[in-house]
Structure 1
């Protein structure tokens, strides 16, 4: 008697039908990724390790990290850095909070790390950014806030360490692992 075929068997992960599904064509996965992205946006001051983001999305850590980068063009950690730097720049421009208060309010655990990362990304120290923003305040007040925010959005198409390495003339050793 020939072996019976099981018509209810699930396809293997390596089958062509499963592999060809693109992140951008899977609306369920995209909604899950957007849920995690929205959580980072609303609480960027909180710690968002990939494990927590994957739990919010309901997918595995590896699948989340890969899918997030494919869907949004940057790894989750870099996206979170962008949001924190945007928020810090806004607070520097619009409030009288000290730089230390801004660093902790935007989720940094160390003032030194905040200052170094802020400078690496924006090209200016937080205090220099504040002086420049306040000098330009009369011109900025006539612009919609969304335009100002978009113009000041940091460009994080490459990792901060890669920016540092380029600025230091390749004296910073390359990392052997990527942190997302």
Structure 2
């Protein structure tokens, strides 16, 4: 026997999680933290984190950082901003954390990406470049090749 109130609550929770995800997508450059996101949908921070991970496979913070890195990649491909300017433009407050996270997701530091993107995306429509260079999730970036031979 299925409980209607439990099913209705689950649907309400999913709607709140979508609102959180949409807010992250819209306001990625703003100072966001899990507590503020949770307050916005009347959930505790712990409950939001657990439910978000169940629904989307990653924590709200990880999702936020992925959005920031995606936007940073687009700005770095443009080539008119420095890595530091891009870092602060996408909402990161620490260049070190930004560079570390960027390297984890993309597989190379932001400065190397900017140099490579300038060459690789020359003549490529931006919509195609965005799809081809989309970041991967944690621990999925290819390991640098060993030069021991």
CA distance in 2: counterparts of 1:138 and 1:52, whole angstroms: 40
Match of residue 148 from structure 1: 129
Superposed CA offset, 1:131-160 (max 9, x none): 11111223522xx61x533433322255x9
> What are the ranges of 5 or more consecutive residues in structure 1 without an aligned counterpart?
1-15, 168-180
> What are the ranges of 5 or more consecutive residues in structure 2 without an aligned counterpart?
145-149
Judge conservation of contact 1:82–1:153 (CA < 8 Å) in 2.
no
Match of residue 65 from structure 2: 81
Runs of 4+ in 1 over 6 A off after TM superposition: none
Match of residue 7 from structure 1: none
CA distance in 2: counterparts of 1:152 and 1:28, whole angstroms: 35
1:99, distance to aligned residue in structure 2 (A): 0.9
2:83 is equivalent to residue 99 of structure 1: yes
CA RMSD of aligned residues (A): 2.9
Judge conservation of contact 1:92–1:102 (CA < 8 Å) in 2.
yes
Give the alignment partner of residue 70 of structure 1, picking from 28, 32, 54. Answer: 54
1:121, distance to aligned residue in structure 2 (A): 2.0
TM-score by length of 1: 0.67
CA distance in 2: counterparts of 1:73 and 1:31, whole angstroms: 16
Q: How does 1:20-39 map to 2 (within 5 A)?
A: 21=7, 26-39=10-23
CA distance in 1: counterparts of 2:65 and 2:17, whole angstroms: 17
Q: Secondary structure at the match of 2:21?
A: helix
The structure richer in helix per residue is 2
2:117 is equivalent to residue 133 of structure 1: yes
Q: In terms of Rg, which structure is larger?
A: 1
Distance of aligned partners of 1:35 and 1:156 in 2 relative to their CA distance in 1, 3 Å threshold: same
Judge conservation of contact 1:36–1:57 (CA < 8 Å) in 2.
yes
